[in-house]
Structure 1
Amino acid sequence: MTMQLVYFSWIRERVGKSEESMQLPGDVKTVDDLIDHLCSINEVYQAALGNKSVVRVAVNQTHVNLDHPVTDADEVAFFPPVTGG
Structure 2
Amino acid sequence: MTLQIAYFAWVRERMGVADETVDLPAGVTNVSSLVAWLAARDARGQVAFAEPQRIRAAIDGVMMGLDAPLAGAREVALFPPVTGG
TM-score class normalised by the smaller sequence: over 0.9
CA contact (8 A) 1:60 1:74 kept: yes
- Please list every run of 5 or more consecutive structure 2 residues that lacks an aligned counterpart in the other structure: none
Of all paired residues, the percent bearing the same amino acid is 41
Q: Structure 1 stretches (4+) deviating beyond 3 angstroms?
A: none
Which residue of 2 is the match for residue 74 of structure 1? 74
Q: Give me the TM-score of the superposition, normalised by structure 1.
A: 0.92
CA contact (8 A) 2:58 2:64 kept: yes
Structure 1: distance between partners of 2:20 and 2:30: 18
What secondary structure, in the 3-state scheme, does the structure 2 residue paired with 1:71 have?
Answer: coil
Structure 2: distance between partners of 1:84 and 1:73: 28
Aligned amino acid, residue 10 of structure 1: W
- Please list every run of 5 or more consecutive structure 1 residues that lacks an aligned counterpart in the other structure: none
How do residues 1-85 of structure 1 correspond to structure 2 at under 5 angstroms? 2-71=2-71, 73-85=73-85
Structure 2: distance between partners of 1:79 and 1:73: 17
CA contact (8 A) 1:2 1:22 kept: yes
